[in-house]
Structure 1
Amino acid sequence: MNIDLNTMSHKDLEKLLADVKSAMKNAQTRDLREARKAAEKAAAEFGFSLDELSGSAGTKKSGKAKRPSEPKYANPNDPSQTWTGKGRQPKWYVEAIESGKTPAALEI
């Protein structure tokens, strides 16, 4: 299939591009489906399902979403800046401790 792109109009090139994008999307979907079937077949040969191999089978979700931790410390100069006490210490906290304040003095 030889197409002379130099002789095609802008409109024809746009249509060709749209057709190619659509064909690529269809080919990717088809390849994905075939790969999944092949993986399921290979897993079945060993007595497993694909979900068991991927680790998604047998996992239970508690249904409870994790709540963010409550702030424990506040910046005395800007109370809108808070820190839970977990993770990396904010710059304002480090500076306050270095200036002689105690962690208890920064608690909310």
Structure 2
Amino acid sequence: MAVDIKSLSHSQLNDLIQKAQARQDELRKEKVTKVREKVHALLNAEGLSFEDVFGAGANVRGGKRRGGGTGSVAPKYRNPADPEQTWSGRGKRPRWFNDALKAGKKEKDLAI
């Protein structure tokens, strides 16, 4: 499936890039899922748990935390359509937050 990128317009090229990045994310998630299944199968086969191998409270992602805090931040925003959904204001904005902004809401309208 060769694509002649020289013949694409700016918007077509941006669309292609977005689709390629989305596909790349899908493939990564699939790979992570397969590896996770293999790890769980190996642990089950050996009669061990994740905590046995990595210790209780092990950071699953493997990175070190900075600041020595608990790692959880109190939520600052709540989805008015579904109060169960909250966001701390850190990291990538959740879809419901962006949708509410597009619908005319202001950040202060979503604040807790």
Q: What TM-score, normalized to structure 1?
A: 0.49
